[in-house]
């Protein structure tokens, strides 16, 4: 697996995009090109199906922990922490003190914690990337499994084989819910 420079990833300006193809094929070559573009558009559509805001649930406490944004750019999926839920009435302003460089001592809010994930059309899953646990500073390989209604997401981080690891549930937030959280818990 290619190791992607985290510094480069942090500097990316992530903007979701759409790939559409509305031209009807007129020749065999055009039909092949259209089929390839349609497959690519399908992969893009599936990759971006999980874009949006998500509420993370701590796999140890079962309580809401943070709200993140998933973004797809060039068929690669990223997640960025946008804020945290209060702990004992206090909104956390955590610093990633245990994290490796370039995350060391950086604020967790607005930190990119997942990168390099892609949709695998053959297996119909999301994998191939990594996720950072800001609490431990560990970086894990990651697999994402959305529910059938796309309202929840199993986020499985592991080292080595997928059988071993941790799974968190993330729940989709509407834009209105996300905006209300940002207003209620200013970061």
Confidence tier at 1 by pLDDT (50, 70, 90): very low
Confidence tier at 92 by pLDDT (50, 70, 90): confident
Q: Which residues face 156 on adjacent strands?
A: 143, 167
The mean pLDDT value for 40-62 works out to: 78
The mean pLDDT value for 148-166 works out to: 92
How much of the chain, in percent, has pLDDT values that exceed 90?
57
CA angle in degrees (0–180, nearest 5) for 50-103-154: 25
CB 144 within 8 A of CB 154: yes
Number of CB atoms found within 10 A of residue 146's CB: 17
Instruction: Report the run of H or E that residue 31 belongs to, with start and end.
Output: helix 28-48
Residue ranges and CATH numbers for the domains of the chain are 48-184 (2.40.128.520)
Distance set, CA 22 to CA 19, 28, 42, 47, 63 (Å): 10, 17, 13, 20, 45
> Which pLDDT value is given to residue 14?
28
The mean pLDDT value for 146-156 works out to: 94
> Which pLDDT value is given to residue 47?
61
Confidence tier at 29 by pLDDT (50, 70, 90): very low
> Which pLDDT value is given to residue 12?
29
**Can you read off the two tokens belonging to residue 94?**
């955590």
């Amino acid at each position: 697996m290619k190791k992607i420079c985290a510094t480069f990833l942090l500097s990316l300006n992530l903007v979701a995009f759409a790939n559409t193809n509305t031209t009807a094929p007129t020749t065999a070559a055009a039909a092949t090109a259209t089929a390839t573009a349609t497959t690519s558009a399908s992969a893009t559509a599936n990759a971006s199906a999980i874009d949006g805001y998500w509420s993370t649930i701590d796999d140890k406490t079962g309580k809401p922990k943070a709200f993140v944004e998933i973004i797809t750019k060039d068929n690669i999926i990223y997640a960025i922490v946008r804020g945290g839920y209060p702990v004992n009435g206090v909104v956390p302003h955590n610093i990633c003190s245990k994290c490796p460089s370039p995350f060391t001592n950086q604020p967790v809010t607005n930190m990119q914690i997942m990168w390099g994930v892609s949709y695998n059309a053959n297996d119909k899953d999301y994998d191939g990337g990594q996720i950072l646990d800001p609490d431990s500073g560990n970086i894990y390989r990651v697999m994402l499994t959305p529910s059938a209604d796309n309202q929840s997401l199993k986020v499985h981080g592991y080292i080595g084989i997928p059988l071993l690891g941790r799974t968190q549930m993330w729940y989709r937030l509407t834009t209105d819910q996300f905006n209300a959280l940002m207003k209620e818990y200013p970061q």
